[in-house]
């Protein structure tokens, strides 16, 4: 049996007004998947946003414990979707079943992590400066402030993470944890996965007795749906994971509004790897092999996929390339997420092949099947002059392709690092002595990278309090914020300050006796104590 109906879920009510429809396809088979889905109409979008705005006041006044229980219920209901959910995800994305299960696990972990964050409670950054009646030249009032939710949040999920960065992703659960209603625009490549996920959230809402307007799912393939959501007067913020082109277009719409809203886009990056001399000396072959594993994981469809490798031109770099080439040849072509991504990948690889300064070191021995939207893995090489000749190499090609750049000197490392755009990650292979020797390079990277990885690979990240998944443009639209990890809740809150406010009317985090037992900053000191 299939529960899928091809409907939007607007504040708990199924809807499908438009006769403009689309379907998901199985990228592995080209098969069109039932049922058909409907574009959202402007009226449906309006209903979803207004329902979110109407539910905001009640939702933001729930206790942290209520929101924690809600998030845990989302995790439980996600699991309760059972095999149908995994089957649909697999069919819509070509992701093998274990990947779908891993994503589901991560998504549940994210919901529970934000439940913990709610319960612990100190994330609200409560601050109190007590009154100083004797201050000269003027007495100081009692001033307190705390983070409160901004209002309805629009979420655009990623094509490459149909579960963990989509309807059930960090954007949604962090917005809920903050107390913001959420309207998700389903990704048109996995609308069925989104519909099922939306039902899990709606079951959790019913189980917890929360207002139905705090969540809606709207479907749509056209750019107009996204534009209408970002333009809607009730939208307070939006979060997006996807391509630079799509993200920038919506960012521009968000900023052109009469009242601009923050648009938090994570748009991927080139994720350079630097293999420093000590590491090359010790384990060139091992790194070459590990690099290709990272490059091909998920058919290279990660925001953190390593698109460039820099090493000193040397025999050892040749060993690295030899090992990477062997792994590349061995890698079995595999199906990409959808025909559009596959086409963009083939175009990107085609462009690289046309660059005379680039040499194709290796490609998958087995030919990819275009009917299955399969990608082969490609490994290119360039010397320093070749890299300099092609600033296009700084642009991401989404998929399993990378270029190894042979540098002439450590000076090249620094010069090339300076040329890089903002990036989510950089990986450094080296010894501690290498790090000291190349302190200049590291310093440059610290100024343009979100996450620096030592002797590891960029693909795969730990969802916790410390992780940062962000970086200067074009990695994101605002480098202060992350889209993954507990810090990502900051995107959906703003400080509200209370001056000489009576204790009885203060929000709980600011009350004198600290009823939530959270960490606060009182007169500049961090404490869990009460205030006067």
CB 307 within 8 A of CB 378: no
Asked if 140 interacts with a second copy (CB under 8 A), we say yes
Residue range at the interface with a second copy (CB under 8 A); choices 10-18, 358-366, 380-388, 522-530: 522-530
Q: Which positions from 413 through 472 interact with a second copy, judged by CB under 8 A?
A: 421-422, 432, 435-436, 442-443, 446-447, 449-456, 460, 462, 464-468, 470-472
Q: In whole angstroms, what is the distance from residue 471 CA to residue 485 CA?
A: 14
Q: In whole angstroms, what is the distance from residue 3 CA to residue 26 CA?
A: 18
In the three-class reduction of DSSP (H, G, I as helix; E, B as strand; rest coil), residue 119 is classed as helix
We find the least distance from the C-beta atom of residue 245 to a second copy, in angstroms, to be: 14
Q: Which positions from 490 through 509 interact with a second copy, judged by CB under 8 A?
A: 490-491, 493-502, 504-505
Asked if 68 interacts with a second copy (CB under 8 A), we say no
**Which x/- pattern, by CB under 8 A, does the window 239-278 give for a second copy?**
------------xx--x---xxxx----------------
CB 197 within 8 A of CB 223: no
Q: In whole angstroms, what is the distance from residue 28 CA to residue 46 CA?
A: 36
Task: Indicate if 303 belongs to the active site.
Answer: yes
Closest to 73 in 3D by CA, of 169, 187, 206: 206
CB 75 within 8 A of CB 201: no
We find the least distance from the C-beta atom of residue 192 to a second copy, in angstroms, to be: 26
The residue within the footprint of a second copy, chosen from 274, 310, 398, 473 (CB under 8 A), is: 473
We find the least distance from the C-beta atom of residue 423 to a second copy, in angstroms, to be: 12
Q: In whole angstroms, what is the distance from residue 218 CA to residue 223 CA?
A: 13
Asked if 12 interacts with a second copy (CB under 8 A), we say no
- Cis before 35 (ω within 30): yes
Q: Which positions from 272 through 331 interact with a second copy, judged by CB under 8 A?
A: none
Closest to 170 in 3D by CA, of 501, 502, 531, 487: 487
The residue within the footprint of a second copy, chosen from 127, 187, 283, 372 (CB under 8 A), is: 127
Asked if 388 interacts with a second copy (CB under 8 A), we say no
Catalytic residue among 118, 180, 303, 407: 303
Residue range at the interface with a second copy (CB under 8 A); choices 39-47, 132-140, 164-172, 336-344: 132-140
Q: Which positions from 87 through 116 interact with a second copy, judged by CB under 8 A?
A: 102, 105, 116
| Residue 491 token pair | 């995107």
Task: Indicate if 194 belongs to the active site.
Answer: no
Name the pairing type of β-strands 153-156 and 143-149: unpaired
Torsion angle of C-alpha atoms 342, 346, 348, 349, degrees rounded to 10: 130
Catalytic residue among 77, 266, 374, 381: 266
Q: Which positions from 167 through 206 interact with a second copy, judged by CB under 8 A?
A: none
The residue within the footprint of a second copy, chosen from 17, 87, 129, 330 (CB under 8 A), is: 129
Asked if 211 interacts with a second copy (CB under 8 A), we say no
φ, ψ dihedrals at 186, nearest 5°: -65, 145
H helix intervals, 379-527: 384-389, 410-419, 432-437, 439-446
Would you please indicate which residues are annotated as catalytic (active-site) residues?
266, 303
């Amino acid at each position: 049996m299939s529960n899928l109906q091809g409907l939007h879920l607007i504040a708990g009510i199924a809807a499908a007004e438009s006769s403009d429809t689309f379907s998901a396809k199985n990228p592995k088979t080209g098969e069109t998947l039932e049922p058909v889905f409907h574009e959202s109409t402007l009226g449906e979008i309006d209903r979803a946003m207004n329902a979110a705005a109407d539910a905001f006041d009640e939702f933001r006044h729930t206790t942290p414990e209520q929101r924690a229980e809600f998030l845990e219920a989302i995790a439980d209901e996600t699991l309760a979707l059972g095999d149908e959910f995994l089957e649909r995800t697999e069919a819509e994305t070509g992701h093998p079943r274990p990947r779908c299960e891993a994503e589901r696990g991560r998504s549940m972990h994210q919901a529970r992590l934000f439940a913990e964050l709610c319960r612990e409670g100190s994330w609200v950054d409560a601050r109190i400066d007590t009154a100083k009646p004797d201050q000269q030249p003027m007495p100081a009032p009692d001033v307190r402030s705390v983070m409160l939710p901004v209002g309805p949040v629009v979420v655009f999920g990623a094509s490459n993470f149909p579960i963990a960065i989509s309807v059930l992703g960090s954007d949604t659960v962090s917005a809920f944890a903050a107390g913001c209603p959420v309207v998700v625009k389903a990704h048109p490549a996995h609308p069925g996965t989104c519909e099922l996920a939306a039902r899990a959230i709606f079951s959790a809402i019913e189980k917890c007795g929360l207002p139905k307007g705090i969540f809606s799912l709207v479907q749509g393939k056209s750019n107009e749906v996204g534009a209408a959501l970002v333009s809607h007067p009730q939208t307070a913020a939006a979060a997006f994971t996807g391509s630079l082109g799509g993200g920038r277009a919506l960012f521009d719409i968000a900023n052109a509004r009469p009242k601009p809203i923050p648009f938090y886009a994570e748009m991927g990056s080139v994720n350079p790897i630097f293999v420093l001399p000590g590491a090359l000396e010790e384990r060139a072959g091992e790194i070459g092999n590990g690099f290709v594993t990272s490059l091909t994981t998920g058919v290279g469809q990660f925001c953190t996929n390593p698109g460039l490798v820099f090493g000193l031109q040397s025999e050892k770099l040749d060993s690295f390339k030899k090992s990477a080439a062997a792994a590349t040849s061995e890698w079995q072509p595999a199906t990409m997420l959808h025909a559009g991504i596959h086409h963009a990948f083939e175009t990107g690889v085609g462009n690289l092949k046309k660059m005379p300064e680039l040499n194709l070191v290796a490609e998958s021995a087995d030919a990819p099947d275009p009917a299955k939207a399969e990608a082969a893995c490609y490994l290119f090489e360039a010397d320093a002059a070749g890299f300099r000749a092609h600033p296009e190499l700084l642009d991401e090609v989404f998929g399993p392709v990378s270029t190894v750049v042979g540098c002439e000197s450590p000076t090249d490392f620094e010069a090339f690092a300076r040329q890089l755009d903002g990036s989510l990650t950089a990986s450094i292979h080296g010894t501690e002595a290498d790090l000291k020797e190349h302190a200049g390079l590291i310093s440059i990277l610290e100024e343009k990278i979100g996450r620096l990885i030592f002797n590891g690979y960029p693909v795969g990240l730990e969802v916790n309090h410390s992780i940062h998944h962000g970086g200067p443009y074009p990695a994101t639209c605002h480098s202060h914020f992350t889209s993954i990890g507990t810090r990502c809740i900051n995107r959906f809150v703003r400080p509200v300050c209370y001056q000489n406010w009576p204790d009885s009317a203060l929000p709980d985090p600011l009350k004198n006796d600290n009823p939530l037992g959270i960490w606060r900053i009182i007169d500049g000191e961090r404490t869990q104590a009460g205030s006067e």
